[in-house]
């Protein structure tokens, strides 16, 4: 079982998945069947239209603020309990500022459990967050799944990749 599959099997209908950016949609589209809800936030209008044509729930966001507004409305209106946020970290529009804002936004809402799941390519971003001490309440060294659930050899493997990307 590869790590995408491992992650997919962990997601249940109690979980809501929000994919930031459509770049990694190929890998994560499988989640549509497992998750309670699945949607994509995307900055390119053409991408949004294409996703919608394929029957994927997707929203056009033009800025960090718009993305945040989306989160606020989802949290308040849909009462999301367990939210997975998947980012494609090579995407330039997902930056540290966004992480910080979304973290601040969600930290204050104790009734919501929040897990930020970064794809492997997000290791560099994780390093940035670590340096900025922004990973205080998030699970340490996140990859596609919570590292606490990794096997020992997976932990070694991801530590090597952390170093290389950092």
- What residue ranges bind other proteins (CB under 8 A)? 2-4, 23-24, 27, 88, 90-91, 119-121, 123-124, 152-153, 155-161, 163-165
Please say which residue, 50 or 90, places its beta carbon nearer to other proteins. 90
- In angstroms, the CA 58 to CA 40 distance is 4
Please say which residue, 107 or 140, places its beta carbon nearer to other proteins. 140
| Smallest gap from residue 143 Cβ to other proteins (A) | 9
| Smallest gap from residue 14 Cβ to other proteins (A) | 25
13 CA to centre of own chain = 17
Residue 82: beta bridge partners? Answer: 15, 113
Of 101, 97, 115, 36, the closest CA to residue 72 belongs to: 101
- In angstroms, the CA 123 to CA 30 distance is 23
Please say which residue, 71 or 158, places its beta carbon nearer to other proteins. 158
| Smallest gap from residue 91 Cβ to other proteins (A) | 8
Total residue count of the chain as it appears in this document: 166
Please say which residue, 107 or 166, places its beta carbon nearer to other proteins. 166
Write the burial class of residue 42 (CB in 10 Å: 0-12 exposed, 13-18 middle, 19+ buried): buried
70 CA to centre of own chain = 14
| Smallest gap from residue 41 Cβ to other proteins (A) | 17
How many CB atoms are closer than 10 A to CB 107? 13
| Smallest gap from residue 81 Cβ to other proteins (A) | 27
Please say which residue, 136 or 164, places its beta carbon nearer to other proteins. 164
């Amino acid at each position: 079982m590869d790590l995408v599959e491992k992650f997919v099997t962990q997601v249940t209908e109690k979980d809501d998945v929000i994919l930031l950016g459509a770049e990694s949609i190929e890998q994560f589209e499988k989640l549509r069947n497992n998750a309670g809800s699945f949607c994509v936030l995307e900055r390119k209008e053409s991408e949004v239209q294409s996703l919608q044509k394929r029957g994927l729930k997707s929203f056009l966001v033009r800025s960090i603020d718009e993305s945040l507004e989306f989160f606020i409305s989802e949290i308040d209106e849909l009462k999301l309990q367990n939210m997975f946020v998947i980012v494609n970290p090579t995407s330039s529009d997902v930056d540290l500022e966004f992480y910080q804002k979304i973290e601040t936004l969600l930290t204050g809402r104790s009734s919501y459990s929040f897990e930020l799941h970064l794809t492997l390519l997000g290791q560099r971003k994780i390093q940035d967050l670590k340096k900025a001490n922004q990973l205080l309440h998030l699970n340490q060294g996140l990859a596609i799944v919570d590292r606490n659930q990794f096997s020992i050899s997976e932990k070694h493997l991801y530590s090597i990749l952390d170093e290389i990307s950092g």
